[in-house]
Structure 1
Amino acid sequence: MRLSGAISFVIASLCLAGCSSTSGKDALDVQKPSNETTSSVVRPSAPIGSVPVSKAGNARKLAETAPEDGPDRPFGLAEEETVALSAPELPDNVDPPIEPAALVSPPKLLSRAAPAMLAGPVTRYGFRDAKPINFGRASPRHLAVHGVDVSRWQGDVNWEKLRTQGANFAYIKATDGGDHLDPMFMRNWRNADAAGLKRGAYHFFYWCRTAGEQADWFIRNVPKVDGALPPVIDVEWNGDSSCKRRPSREKVLEKMQVFMDKLERHYGQRPIIYTSPDFYRDNLQGAFLDYPFWLRAVARHPSKVYPGRKWLFWQYSGSGLSHGVTGRIDLNVFHGDERQWRAWAGGGGRQMMADAD
């Protein structure tokens, strides 16, 4: 009896030691090969070139609300000055060059009929800004097509008023992680369309879930509809998230590719990558040259914050004001003129790039 009791005690001690070991699930995950594999979506073998555009017609961009850092708190980022990438300094009286937007295939429509809203005129910029920035002659106001991104934090949006203020398109928070749906998504999705805005949905990527299950969750909740803008993957470091992981650059790019391939296969549209300066610095320099980018740069022009990166959308303010919402809203702009906006958003049948010089 005493011997068997001692043996039991030793076995129990070994079990407890195993449970408290630092080589737990996370460590085991590091040792195992990834279960995530890319799909068979065909990607261009080289970066996509540009189509020159005249100075006269340059597109304005979107007024949007800040995306969320996670399911339970509003979005928040440090100013670009703390994380900006190095770039040649220009004299104050010289405007920074405006990099051409990332070339991207137009959204694939599910029918031949173009949305009726594309026949109407683009609504001109009419927003105010609680913290205006002087971008000089590189001001986003010189571009033609502005819009908004919204989430639950904007509450009940008056989309008709937002449209008259200058919102021509809206990116709407849909999902984050593998189990969170923005409670305002479907209402915003329907009402933005009813007010005549081009609409798209975005997903906030969560680094503690697999890319495949996050893509499945997005697909489950975001309709595949005629005329919708391409889906967006929002990739950032989020200090307020319950997930504290910061995967390696290699793992980040792998997970993003899995997610984007799955969405492209389902929606027939190449996803757009939204990112912030610190995340871009750590992971995305030189990566995904054949994908369109939506860049956050609220203190300086994207050419200074992301030197050399072509972009399709620019989020230039997180402090916009509009009659359509209570509080502040993110302001964004499309990198092209009105003609290019119509060709791209309407599925003009060819690839385009805005070279807003």
Structure 2
Amino acid sequence: MWLLIRTLLPLSILISGCSPASTDLLESAVKQAKFADNDPQHFEGRTPHRHDVHGIDVSKWNGAIDWIAVKRSGVAFAFIKATEGKDRLDPKFHTHWQGATDADLPHAAYHFYYFCSSAAEQADWFIRNVPKEANLLPPVLDVEWNHTSPTCRHRPPPETVKHEMKVFMDRIEAHYGRRPIIYTSVDFHRDNLVGAFPDHHFWVRAVAQHPEVVYPDRNWTFWQYTSTGIVPGIDGETDINVFAGSRQNWHSWVASVSR
């Protein structure tokens, strides 16, 4: 299978629209997108541009966003930073959330986890700030080592990490009715998550090597492939991601998680 897809979607869904004969059509669709990358990587021939569903993730650092222009550029989804720890709200969250809603762009909120406060406190903070709305993507738990944080660089052992994540995600799922997506980085996954949470969709960061290389045996649904993307409607560089399947797979997946 030409995409080398690793996701939690049923195999029958993955195969649909992803045969070798469809390669030229999918690459043609991607080339029609109006966004680009200031520092593109080719991932040894497994370029993310062979995937036809791309999206962005944004926070306060992206400033004001023209969401209509973003959608027109070919962006298909957005992950929007909402909260950090037990008491920090991204100051652009509500503006970005409303903008994506007005543009009718599928979107979800994400929480940046701090290992210096309890999982319950952080889940309650997220719930307090993120609307409980229908027809959106599942919420996201962002887990990575906070090596540049001025207040929390604590690195608990793997079993503690997984226990705290489960407490947080169970509380979020109970409230929103959707199992959270897990976002993670290469080092955090290697230290804590190999083989863990097989029933969750994973969103992985891999900007130098293909996920197949740095996340062996990990099923993934989203791949963050660059932080130097250029997207109309956003000033400066931004993160760009791909969905693992075809456009047909994407519509099926969104329908399944929006129920």
TM-score (norm 2): 0.88
Q: Pick from 206, 221, 226: which aligns with 2:134? A: 226
Q: SS of the counterpart of 2:11?
A: coil
8 Å CA contact retained: 1:124, 1:145: no
In structure 2, the partner of 1:323 is: 232
Cα distance in 1, alignment partners of residues 234 and 8 from structure 2: 38
Partner letter of residue 335 of structure 1? A
> Following superposition of structure 1 onto structure 2, how do residues 37-186 of structure 1 map, counting pairs within 5 Å?
50-52=10-12, 53-54=15-16, 55-56=18-19, 125-186=33-94
Which residue pairs with 1:192 in the alignment? 100
User: Paired residues, what number?
Assistant: 243
Distance in 1 (alpha carbons) for counterparts of 2:38 and 2:163: 39
Distance in structure 1 (CA, Å) of the matches to 2:70 and 2:9: 34
Structure 1: gaps (5+ residues): 1-46, 61-120, 351-357
Counterpart amino acid of residue 279 in structure 1: F
User: Is 1:306–2:215 an aligned residue pair?
Assistant: yes
**Mapped contact 1:125–1:146 kept (Cα < 8 A):** no
State which of 286, 289, 294 in structure 1 corresponds to 2:203.
294
Matched residue, 1:12: none
**1:340 offset after TM fit, Å?**
1.4
Change (3 A) 1:309 1:204: same
The structure in which a higher percent of residues are helix is 2
1:192 counterpart SS class: helix
Pick from 240, 248, 251 the counterpart of residue 157 of structure 2: 248
Any gaps of 5 or more consecutive residues in structure 2? 1-6
Amino acid at match of 2:141: I
In the alignment, the residues of structure 2 paired with residue 318 and residue 349 of structure 1 have an alpha-carbon distance, to the nearest angstrom, of 28
Partner amino acid for 2:69? Answer: K
Deviation at 1:349, TM superposition (A): 8.8
The 1-side partners of 2:67 and 2:258 are apart by: 29
| Aligned amino acid, residue 238 of structure 2 | I
2:142–2:184 CA contact under 8 A, matched in 1: yes
The alignment status of 1:335 with 2:244, answered yes or no, reads yes
Q: Distance in 2 between matches of 1:286 and 1:181?
A: 31
Separation in structure 2 between the aligned mates of residue 182 and residue 122 of structure 1, nearest angstrom: 31
Whether contact under 8 Å (1:145, 1:334) holds in the other structure is yes
Deviation at 1:240, TM superposition (A): 1.4
Structure-1 separation of matches of 2:72 and 2:193: 36
Q: What is the alpha-carbon distance in structure 2 between the residues aligned to residue 184 and residue 273 of structure 1?
A: 22
What's the CA shift for 1:134? 1.3
- What residue in structure 2 maps to residue 211 of structure 1? 119
User: 1:171 and 1:123 mapped to 2: Cα distance?
Assistant: 22
| Structure 2 SS opposite 1:294 | strand
Is the alpha carbon distance of 1:123 and 1:170 closer, same or farther for their aligned partners in structure 2, counting shifts above 3 Å?
farther
Measured in 2, the distance between the counterparts of 1:321 and 1:226 equals 30
Quote how far apart the aligned CAs of 1:325 are. Answer: 1.0
The Cα offsets for residues 269-317 of structure 1, whole Å up to 9 and x where unpaired, read as 1100000001011000011111110000001110001011110000000
Does 1:265 pair with 2:225? no
Could you say if the C-alpha distance between residues 294 and 189 of structure 1 is closer, same or farther in structure 2, counting changes exceeding 3 Å?
same
Distance between the aligned counterparts of 2:30 and 2:120, measured in 1? Answer: 37
Give aligned-pair identity as a percent. Answer: 50
Distance 1:123 1:348 in 2: 28
State the shift of 1:49 in Å.
7.5
Secondary structure in 2 matching 1:330? strand
Cα shift readout 1:61-89 (whole Å, capped 9, x = no counterpart): xxxxxxxxxxxxxxxxxxxxxxxxxxxxx
Matched, 1:276 2:185: yes
**Structure 1 residues 348, 235: closer, same or farther in 2, change over 3 A?**
closer
Task: Give the 4+ runs in structure 1 shifted more than 4 A.
Answer: 121-124
TM-score normalised according to structure 1 size: 0.65
Shift of 1:48: 6.3
Secondary structure at 1:299 match in 2 = coil
What CA distance in whole angstroms lies between the structure 1 residues aligned with 2:193 and 2:33?
31
- State the match for 1:41 in structure 2: none
Q: Distance in 1 between matches of 2:235 and 2:123?
A: 32
